[in-house]
Amino acid sequence: MAAAKPRLSFWQIWNMSFGFFGIQFGWGLQMGNMSAIYEYLGANESQLPLLWLAAPLTGLLVQPIIGHMSDRTWGAFGRRKPYFFSGAVLSSIALLLMPHSATLWMAAGLLWVLDASVNISMEPFRAFVADLLPDEQRTVGYAMQSVFIGAGAVIASKLPGWLQAGGISIVTNKAHPIPATVVTAFTIGAVVFFISVLWTVLSTAEYPPQDLAGFRRKQREGFGDILVAFREMPAQMKQLAAVQFFTWMALFCMWIFFTVAVARNIMGATSPGSPLYERGLDLARDCFAEYNLVAFFAAMFFLWLGRFISAKWIHLVSLLLGGIGLVSVAVIRQPSMLLVAFVGVGIAWASILCMPYAMLSSALPEQRMGVYMGIFNFFIVIPQILVAVIIGRVMEHFPQVNRLSAVVFGGVCMLAASFLTLFIPAKPIVRRKLGRITSDDAMIPTATASKNPLA
């Protein structure tokens, strides 16, 4: 039987989660700018989904492999941390190079490098929480990641606009098709990504394997264990997989099409580089920044709410609000109302980043935590691949299906995910009794956390 893990203090959970600030800073720059970068370099709307294929395909290939490898890694630098660090180095290089792309296919190639590198850093972070925290603190661990994800994404979304307000040019020409604001933002993102991950690497120690001899035997197992783990997937993971499938189909539609849909279909811009196009991009980035800011505060609220309501019901209601927000884009034409709609998207995003993992981690065996977190990613990336392959073809053959239609379709998918959450068993809530902190109250960091080797 595994020894009980000591509770960690608030600042220990802060340190182990801080790397996600940089990871999401990089993701935020990508989500808010890649479709525009592609259009600056000459892409049309039907090409965008295929050009975005890098994100789901690299996740499909990289995450289960990195999860399997990190489950079997132990050395002077720990188990998960070597992957955090190597992924951060590669991601920072890709971020530096991306806005200097001279051609469409150069940008597409660098996106493959960037997404593969980000996945190397990101995948072990999910298992990291389960490695170091006792079961009753995992919700707060994943919620803390959500807080940093929200903070990183808000700043990344607003950064190009702030740089423009600071006097950096948005003028483009044949020699420099990508605005200087985007070039500068990606350069800052590269530095932030690296420093944030380095903070976690240097500030947080990992527990060594309890049975080192057994661990060494497990290291000799091949990648066939991924297939074995897939066949032996726990029942609750299968139910969550269906929810994730529709959730991430919705998110991918939003990320690919929303920024350019606002510029083209709502603002009425006819070409990249026009004043209306830039105004549309700024409005869309404001929506992205807002939903991430809402997610930041919602994640903190969830730390308290989780004491009284199970993760299942928090997730169901959050997805419902997000789906309504995206579907409403079909009729909204006022910028202020777009911002209102994205409040629901922000609440959904906060839940998406923590509640499925809180529900999942307690159903997984410790020795396969990394590989199962990687397999869980299948149900994030496969729907994105389907969107990338199918929607582009639909747009080619049905001109009435445009960027805005794709965003609304994403909202319908999120509503379907909310409905499927109904069928996931709810974990009972344990309340405070007789002045003692019970397991559910332990979701909230306290100043009386036990001393432990990570202090």
Nearest CA among 391, 417, 414 for reference residue 327: 414
Spans of the chain, pLDDT less than 70:
1-3, 172-175, 211-214, 216-223, 270, 427-455
Q: What pLDDT score does 442 carry?
A: 35
- Please report, rounded to a whole number, the percentage of residues in the chain having pLDDT higher than 70: 89
Q: What pLDDT score does 332 carry?
A: 87
Q: What is the rounded distance in angstroms from the CA atom of residue 53 to the CA atom of residue 43?
A: 14
Phi, psi of 436 (to 5 degrees): -105, 150
CB 120 within 8 A of CB 66: yes
Q: What pLDDT score does 36 carry?
A: 84
Q: What pLDDT score does 455 carry?
A: 32
Q: Which residue ranges make up each domain of the chain?
A: 10-207+234-427
Q: What pLDDT score does 453 carry?
A: 33
Q: What pLDDT score does 211 carry?
A: 67
Q: What pLDDT score does 260 carry?
A: 83
Look at the pTM and tell me if it is higher than 0.75: no
| Structure-block tokens of residue 101 | 């792309």
CB 263 within 8 A of CB 407: no
Q: What is the rounded distance in angstroms from the CA atom of residue 233 to the CA atom of residue 406?
A: 32
Tens of pLDDT, residue by residue over 291-329, are 888 988 898 888 788 778 888 999 999 999 999 999 999
Q: What pLDDT score does 454 carry?
A: 35
Tens of pLDDT, residue by residue over 177-232, are 888 898 999 999 999 999 999 999 999 988 887 766 667 666 666 667 778 888 88
The one-letter amino acid code at 410 reads G
Fold for 10-207+234-427, please state it: Growth Hormone; Chain: A; (1.20.1250)
